[in-house]
Each structure stands twice: as C-alpha cells, then as structure tokens.
Amino acid sequence: MEPRKKKRSIIADIWHRFKKNKTAVGGLLMLCILLFFAIFADFISDYDTRAIHHNSQNRLQQPSMDNFFGTDEFGRDIFTRVIFGMRNSLSMALSATAASLLIAIVVGSIAAFYGGLLDSFIMRILDMFMGLPMILLAIAISASLGPGGGNLVLAMTISQVPSFTRITRSAILNIVGQEYIEAAKSYGSNDAEIIYQHILPNAIGVIIVQATMAVSTTILSIAALSYLGLGIAPPAPELGSMLSDGREFMRHSPNMVIFPGLTIALIALSLNLFGDGLRDALDPRLKN
C-alpha cells in the first residue's frame, strides 16, 4: 500500500502545478475537443455518404449550415473529411510515436546501462542516422516502400527512433550515476530489476514530455508526406492530401485549404502547449 499512496500524491502534485499554467490548460482543453471530434467522428457525420461519396451537384460550395466548411471539387463535405482525416492523422502519429518510443526505451536503456563498447556501437549507428535530416529520411523510406498508411507509419517510426534513443539514453545516463542505483546494485538486484524498478520510473517524465512534442512534429511530417502524395490512398481523407487536392481550387474555394491546414496547426499547437506545461509541471526546477 505504501508506495502506491506515494505515487498518487506525486501525480496530484504534478496536476496541481500543471493547473496553474493557463496556456497549458488551454492546450489540454483544445486537445480534448479535437480528440472528441476525431474519436466520435462516426456519430457526428457519416463517412460513406459525406466523406467519400461523389456528389457532382454539390461541388465547391461555400460554408453553410449543411456543410460547415463547404464542399470540395467532388461535392464531398469538407467538415466530415477534416474530422475523419484528423482521426487518420492522429492514429498514424500516435502509433508511430508509440512504436518508436518503445524501441528507443529498450535500445536507449541498454546503451546507457551497459555503457562501454555496446554503447559506443549503438551511438555510432545513431550518428549515421542523425546525418540525415528526419523528414528526408522519412521521405526516402516512404518513397521506396511506396505510398500507403502502414508504410507511412513505418517511415515515421524509423526516422524518429534515432533522436528518441538519444534522449532516453541521456535521461537514463543521468540516473545511472545516482547513488540509489548503486545502492540497488549493492543489495543484489539484477539488471532487469534495476532498469524497470529504479531507472525507468525516474526517467519516464522526460520521455513523456518528449513524446508529446514528438506527436506534434509527427503530425506535421505526416501532413507533409501526404501532401507530397506519399500518404494513405485516396479517397480516404487525410489532412495533408486534402491540402494538395485543394490547391488547384484555392482561388475560388479557399475553404478547401484553409480548414484542413488550420486543423493541423491546432493539433500541433495544442500538443506543444500541453507538452510545455507538462515539462514545467514535471520539473519545477526548470521553471524560473
């Protein structure tokens, strides 16, 4: 019972500090609203009739009560496409970030904990990956694998692993040097126990903050790759590909590019605000 009670108070403590930061709470609120639309998209609008069904009588309409954001060149409702596109982008970004985080935690903790040759070997390989700008690596991977949602997630995962691993490694290195790790070693804990019980719980804060920020950059990268035609196959809606479709009609139907872009920006902004607030709340020393 004892350690559990303590853990709860830490979370309450973090929440207490987080609450005071108004912009961060605003970010969280915005994020919840966007998530609401993405999760309950099926209840809000109908995918088959409004998101992918062509309706030539209803082309390029301006926003109205029936079509909040207007319609596109095939008469599809832009609002419906935006919320379903948001769902697609968010689920791709979340799965890519989760996957790369998992790999990074395993590789990073092995490198930091064992050090020596293994560590330098892993780090040299990462250095090579870091020689490629992330978006370029993602473009190269999804170009070679071909367009498609799964390939895009794979490309984003691989391109994020190097920087993530670096961050987890340095977060863990800070902890490996602490005295309580030595104490744990001295009373005979094995390596796995030390990593899972003593190191990871202490490093997880930094890692979670990085992950929040990473979801935001991943959303932007996924939109960019989809804009270039490397995303999920049409007619499935995706925010980035909606922008490239809308470009042609931009002069007379600017709503085709304004709303999807604004949605991407709002997702990224709310994640950044939330991540910033979380960082300050997790580590009060960083706040001046």
Nearer to other proteins, 10 or 262 (CB): 262
Q: Which of 56, 57, 144, 186 binds other proteins (CB under 8 A)?
A: 144
State yes or no: residue 139 binds other proteins (CB under 8 A). Answer: yes
Nearer to other proteins, 268 or 282 (CB): 268
State yes or no: residue 261 binds other proteins (CB under 8 A). Answer: yes
Q: Which of 143, 184, 200, 208 binds other proteins (CB under 8 A)?
A: 143
The minimum distance between CB 161 and other proteins, in angstroms, equals 12
Which of 34-42, 82-90, 190-198, 254-262 is the region at the interface with other proteins (rule: CB under 8 A)?
254-262
Q: Which of 99, 145, 208, 236 binds other proteins (CB under 8 A)?
A: 145
State yes or no: residue 284 binds other proteins (CB under 8 A). Answer: no
Q: Which two tokens stand for residue 213?
A: 């920020």
The minimum distance between CB 186 and other proteins, in angstroms, equals 23
Q: Which of 268, 278, 281, 282 binds other proteins (CB under 8 A)?
A: 268
Q: Which of 78, 153, 176, 264 binds other proteins (CB under 8 A)?
A: 264
User: Residue 203's closest CA among 229, 171, 244, 248?
Assistant: 171
Nearer to other proteins, 44 or 228 (CB): 228
Q: What is the rounded distance in angstroms from the CA atom of residue 163 to the CA atom of residue 126? A: 8
Which of 5-13, 166-174, 189-197, 263-271 is the region at the interface with other proteins (rule: CB under 8 A)?
263-271
The minimum distance between CB 227 and other proteins, in angstroms, equals 6
State yes or no: residue 136 binds other proteins (CB under 8 A). Answer: yes
Q: What is the rounded distance in angstroms from the CA atom of residue 141 to the CA atom of residue 215? A: 19
Q: Which two tokens stand for residue 248?
A: 């042609």
State yes or no: residue 24 binds other proteins (CB under 8 A). Answer: no
Which of 68-76, 77-85, 109-117, 226-234 is the region at the interface with other proteins (rule: CB under 8 A)?
226-234
State yes or no: residue 269 binds other proteins (CB under 8 A). Answer: yes
Contact 50, 82 (CB under 8 A): no
Q: What is the rounded distance in angstroms from the CA atom of residue 129 to the CA atom of residue 151? A: 19
HEC string for the chain: CHHHHHHHHHHHHHHHHHHHCHHHHHHHHHHHHHHHHHHCHHHHCCHHHHHCCCCHHHCCCCCCCCCCCCECCCCCEHHHHHHHHHHHHHHHHHHHHHHHHHHHHHHHHHHHHHCHHHHHHHHHHHHHHHCCCHHHHHHHHHHHHCCCHHHHHHHHHHHHHHHHHHHHHHHHHHHHCCHHHHHHHHCCCCHHHHHHHHHHHHHHHHHHHHHHHHHHHHHHHHHHHHHCCCCCCCCCCCHHHHHHHHHHHCCCCCHHHHHHHHHHHHHHHHHHHHHHHHHHHHCHHHCC
Nearer to other proteins, 92 or 264 (CB): 264
State yes or no: residue 255 binds other proteins (CB under 8 A). Answer: no
Binding residues for other proteins (CB under 8 A): 124-125, 127-129, 131-137, 139-141, 143-146, 216, 220, 223-224, 227-229, 240, 243, 247, 250-251, 254, 257-258, 261, 264-265, 268-269, 271-273, 276, 288
